[in-house]
Amino acid sequence: MSWTVDEVTMNSSVRVVSWAIALCASLLAYGQVSPSTNVTTVATDLLDASHILHFLDVVDAFGHVSARNPDNASQFIMSFAIAPALATSQDLVTYEIDNATAIQLTFNTSVTGVAVPAGFVERYIHSQIYNAFPEVTAVVHAHTTNVISFAAVGVGLKAQMGVAGSVGALTNGTPIFDYDALPVDILPEDAPHNLLVGNVPLGDALAGTFQNGSAVVLMKGHGMAVQGTSVRDVVYRAYYTMENANVQSMATLLGALTPGASAPAGLSARDASDSAISDEGESLLDRAWALWTGQVDQVPLYINDLRS
């Protein structure tokens, strides 16, 4: 059988297209289609964030950090239910913000829907903050004990130092989310009163507690929720919220024990706002991140397989 040049070219093209289709199908079947560079970059920071928050004692076996999907603002990425220190790329899940529904494993797209391992019960903290605040691109929820003590006595945090400017200088301090004060249409009497934000109405109630002038909400008997403009920013804010609580606790104690001293007023609203802008600039966040990733890299427990 003889072939013309055009026929050979056409058949070669068909074979190439068929091979490409088969390859794509094979890659999809094995979950090897790589996420975009944007998603991979955010996911790399997200794994570092989980490890750093544990290293800095902001979280322990519980707590979580998430990021809005940079390629799709109606989605967010966080690990399924696993201790933050142990998270790797294979634990990351892409969720719809709508009802915090699992779509797929971010780095294994063959695992979808109900096949995705169980997520955090409180992923609705994240979904509903993203839903309420389009400008927010990262969220931390932590059970940091020295922060819980402030909510326990009904005292909000106020920025005591420049690096904690995002805590704010609201008159009554950071707002406090009080689970027991929720109306019955949000928390029915026959529902579990376990402090967990485990559905959309509870997540909306928490998101609605945020106030302009503070990136933090304290959660009575529970912990805190922190919103940020990037993964690195929200980790910075969560860490220095914890440190600010230490300073405010000590200042309050010193004020009570020192004759003539007053309770700590904290920074002015102008000082807090301007400090947040200056101290959360990219160069300073990168400086902190370089230190923190350098520290977690020295600990074998933490594995960021996207970076190493």
Q: Which residues are catalytic?
A: 122
C-alpha 82/C-alpha 166 separation (Å) is: 28
- Cβ(218)–Cβ(147) below 8 Å: yes
Strand 223-228 with 138-142, pairing: antiparallel
What CA–CA distances, in Å, run from 103 to 1, 63, 65, 96, 207?
51, 21, 18, 7, 23
- In the sheet where 176-177 sits, what is the strand order? 108-112, 102-105, 92-96, 75-79, 64-68, 138-142, 223-228, 216-219, 176-177
Name 251's Cβ contacts closer than 8 Å, sequence gap at least 6: 160, 264
Distance of alpha carbon 65 from its chain centroid, rounded? 3
Q: Which tokens is 250 given? A: 């000590």
First to last CA, the chain: 55
Which of 145, 140, 120 is closest to 57 using CA atoms? 145
Q: Which tokens is 78 given? A: 């966080």
**Size of the chain, expressed as the number of residues it contains:** 308
C-alpha 102/C-alpha 119 separation (Å) is: 8
